[in-house]
């Protein structure tokens, strides 16, 4: 709480602008994460399909 009180009392315009810029950046990141969290998770079968495709690709490689 002491930190917030100190931030409110800042008079230096450069520091105020830097804090505002950083706050806006954090808000954009938070919004993006909230949207990403709201997206449905991919189907469980996707991982198995990926592994199967990878295994088939690797089995076709010639080892010398």
For residue 64, the 8-state DSSP code is: -
pLDDT in tens, 6-27: 888 888 999 999 999 999 999 9
pTM beyond cutoff 0.75: no
Q: Does a structural domain hold residue 64?
A: no
Total domains, the chain:
1
Q: Does a structural domain hold residue 9?
A: yes
> Rounded distance, CA 19 to CA 55, Å?
50
> Rounded distance, CA 64 to CA 58, Å?
14
Q: What is the mean pLDDT of the chain?
A: 85
Mean pLDDT of 35-57: 80
- Higher pLDDT among residues 46 and 10, named by residue: 10
Q: Which domain holds residue 35?
A: 2-59
Q: Does a structural domain hold residue 36?
A: yes
Residue 44: predicted pLDDT: 64
Mean pLDDT of 24-53: 86
């Amino acid at each position: 709480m002491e930190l917030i009180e100190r931030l409110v009392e800042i008079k230096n315009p450069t520091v105020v602008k830097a804090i505002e810029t950083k706050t806006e950046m954090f808000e954009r990141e938070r919004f993006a994460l909230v949207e990403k969290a709201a997206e449905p998770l991919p189907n469980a079968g996707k991982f198995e399909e990926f592994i199967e495709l990878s295994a088939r690709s690797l089995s076709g490689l010639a080892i010398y």
